[in-house]
Chain A
Amino acid sequence: TQLLEQSPQFLSIQEGENLTVYCNSSSVFSSLQWYRQEPGEGPVLLVTVVTGGEVKKLKRLTFQFGDARKDSSLHITAAQTGDTGLYLCAGARTGNQFYFGTGTSLTVIP
């Protein structure tokens, strides 16, 4: 069982649609990050959230950290084909522990 569960596992949508990806855990994290990975490349850090309830926006992407710091969501508005990729959440806990989520594979169809 993974400490960070992401849903959905796979998502295929039309260009212009909105979507939300969830990252859930029963554990508390001191910070949470989101990465995007394209085929054949390493993950690229998109954002780090550290405060419960925090919301960060990166152009059409909105990231939220849950109030209890156990979950997070990524919302994409008006998806574009360039948003296609594997989205990974990752959380840091005390004691230098760091965990990656199970991943959400997003395909945006033109």
Chain B
Amino acid sequence: KAGVTQTPRYLIKTRGQQVTLSCSPISGHRSVSWYQQTPGQGLQFLFEYFSETQRNKGNFPGRFSGRQFSNSRSEMNVSTLELGDSALYLCASSPGGRGAYGYTFGSGTRLTVV
């Protein structure tokens, strides 16, 4: 079956702009989580959506937001981009709660803010 698909793979944006990233989970998986990965901080949890509802949220500013659609596809948005937002953004799907059953990750979106 198809894996987790993230688009786009690479993105270059200017400070102050906004960006929307997309994630299509594995068919049948209702939980989608987003992580930010940087060399210095490792994997940092952004938020988790389950059946279109945000179930958990990490310690990120309100500039980071997300949503999930009825087909479980998810988007995350970052407004007013800062240089420090440059990172690999990973989407992960799982059948149930927040990775307890094991995550399947997408290949990520590499965001560079200049």
Contacts and interface: CB of A to CB of B under 8 A. Distances in A.
A: interface residue count bin: 20 to 34
Contact of A45 (B102, B107, B108): B102
B100 A98 contact: yes
A41 B42 contact: no
A96 B105 contact: no
A44 B98 CA distance: 16
Contacts of A90: 99, 103
Contacts of B100: 30-31, 92, 96, 98
A41 B107 contact: yes
Interface string A45-85: 10010000000000000000000000000000000000000
Contact of A42 (B56, B92, B97, B101): B92
Contacts of A97: 98
Nearest to A2: B42
Interface of B: 4, 35, 42-43, 45, 55-56, 90, 92, 97-108, 110
Interface of A: 2, 30-31, 33, 35, 40-45, 48, 88, 90, 92, 96-98, 100-103
12 contacts: A33-B99, A33-B103, A35-B105, A42-B105, A42-B107, A45-B102, A45-B104, A48-B102, A92-B98, A96-B97, A97-B98, A100-B35
A33 B99 CA distance: 9
Nearest to A101: B42
B108 A41 contact: yes
A45 B104 CA distance: 7
B10 to A, nearest CB: 10
Contact of B105 (A44, A98, A103): A44
B98 A98 contact: yes
A40 B45 CA distance: 19
